[in-house]
Structure formats: structure tokens, C-alpha cells
Amino acid sequence: MKVSEQLTYQFLMNLRKFISQLSISSQYHLAQWLASLGYHHIPKRKNLARRNLMRAFPNQSEGWIENTLKNSYQFFAYNFIQFLAFPGVWETAQYDIHGKDVLDEALKQKKGVVFISAHFGVWEMLGVWLGLNNYKLVGVAHRQRNQGANKFFQEQRELSGVKHIFRKEPLEKMYAILNENKLLGLVSDQDAKKKGVFIDFFGMPASTPKGAALFHKNTNAPMIFSVCVRTGFQKYQLEFLPIIAGDDTTEKITQAYTVILEKLIHAYPEQYFWFHRRWKTKPEKSN
């Protein structure tokens, strides 16, 4: 690593130590301060998120949009502080599990599981629960450009026992995960540029990664869509939902779990990560 990357790693380790020593109440108040800082002083991201909310909820009032935006800042600021405080915050976490039998039955097929999630809810705590309960999750992650940051975030995520590989690694590694009857974790809700498949998301075409559908079609491994919703302070609801595909096309499979995600967003709009350009890529116009 470069000296600057080593300094990044050391800074994050020191920040982790500092936050871990705070009470949960103090961590919460620090997150509120960070949320206010981001909301008032980083207009580019705020304006992008506001536009996304307006596109997704065109019939909502300006006040509703702004309130949801503020709540989203607070939600994800606390997610970040909570992540830095791993593993200390795990002890007080309370989980309400829906569909564990779906996950267990899928693993009995011995084909692995195409495990799909999204930038929704507290996805880091989803990984924590899986790791602590001895489910063999290997998530496909985006490699950070800064090696120091990459090392820190990977170490934090793997404290519970989950593992990671990175995008652009050989596909054989990902198929091997399924062959070993593990969970291949895919976060499949960001703009996939021209390589993606266009499906309907809040009434608009959205380029979406097609990897989950292709892994299923090539292996017949069962697919599960899963999220972790925050329902209260240190209270979480985990959902494990089967995606029944049959001989469906890549588009239909991708649309099936996107419909589930959209319903969850309608129920908890502040828990979706509105800060990325979800509708950036436009479908090519037919002649």
C-alpha cells in the first residue's frame, strides 16, 4: 500500500476504536450530527437523492419528499456509525426472522443459493446475522480504489464470519461458491450501464445487473431475495423470500425480485439508498 493508503487504514482503525468506546446513545447522536452535516453541506448528493425521490414518488408533496430525504440521511448516517462500531453493537441487536425455513430448504438442494439483496435497510446487519448463525455467505463486493479503505471495510464485514470476493474476479470462483453449497451474495440494484437488463423500477426503465438471473439459469441454484429492515432502535426484521423462476427469461427473473424491492421501498422509503444514479443509463431507442 502507498503511504497515503496506510494512513487511511490507520485513521479508520482509530475512528473505529473511538466510536466503539462511545455508548450506543452517543453513537446515535453522532450519527444525527453527521446526517445534518451531509444534508446541509453536500448539495450534489442531496439534490440527486431529492430528484430520485421525486421521480419515484411523483404524487407526493414537496414536504413529504424533503422529510423522507432528511430521514434517509439520518438512517444511513447511523448505519455507517453502527458499522464502524462492529462488533460491539451486535450484543444488543434483536432480530425478527421471517422465512428462515425458505433459506434452510434452499440449502438442502445442495446447489448453493443465489442470494440477492439491495442497497436497502441495514444490509451489513444481514451479513452479521448470517455469519453468526453459521451460514456460509460469500458476498461479491466492489473493490475500493484506496487499498487502505478496502482492507478496513473488508475486515469489518468479515468479523462475523462472512467472506468476500471482488467483482472482475474469474467467474469460476463464483460458480465454485455455489458448487460448495454456499450463499453467493449479490447486491443487484445499481445502474449496470449498457451491460445490464432493462426492467421496470417505479414505472421507469432501469438498467439492472443480470448476474443473479444468469447464475440461476446456468446452475439451477435456488434464488432468495433478502433484506434487513430496521423496525426500531436495535430492532431488525430479516426477510428471506424465494424467487420462483422456472424457465423465465433473464428480464422476468430480474423484474421479479425488483418488484419485491419496490414494495419494500414503498413501505420504508427512507431505508433505500437514494444517493446513486439509479436511472442513469437510458435504453437505446428503436428505429
Pairing between β-strand 235-243 and β-strand 223-232 as defined by DSSP bridges? antiparallel
pLDDT for 287: 54
Residue type, 5: E
pLDDT for 91: 87
Let me know: does 243 contact 253? Beta carbons within 8 Å. Answer: yes
Q: What spatial distance separates the first Cα and last Cα of the chain, rounded to whole Å?
A: 50
Strand partners, 204: 201
Provide the b/e sequence for 222-261 (b: ≥16 CB within 10 Å).
bbbbbbbbbeeebebbbbbbebebeebebeebbbbbbebb
CA distance 183 to 258: 19
pLDDT for 181: 98
CA distance 270 to 157: 23
Q: Give Cα separations from 200 to 68, 97, 237, 261, 285 (angstroms).
A: 23, 29, 26, 12, 16
Q: Where are the domains of the chain?
A: 3-271
pLDDT for 211: 94
pLDDT for 168: 85
Among the listed residues 229, 237, 235, 238, the one whose alpha carbon sits nearest the alpha carbon of residue 271: 229
All cell numbers assigned to 261: 424491492
Residue-wise pLDDT tens digits, 235-263: 999 999 999 887 789 999 999 999 999 99
**Residue ranges of the chain with pLDDT lower than 70?**
286-287
**DSSP structural state of residue 168:** T
Instruction: Please report the beta strands in the chain, taking only residues with DSSP state E, as ranges in sequence order.
Output: 94-98, 113-117, 137-141, 163-166, 183-187, 197-201, 204-208, 223-232, 235-243
Among the listed residues 113, 103, 114, 283, the one whose alpha carbon sits nearest the alpha carbon of residue 207: 283
Quote the pTM value: 0.94
- Give the distance between the most distant pair of CA atoms in the chain: 62
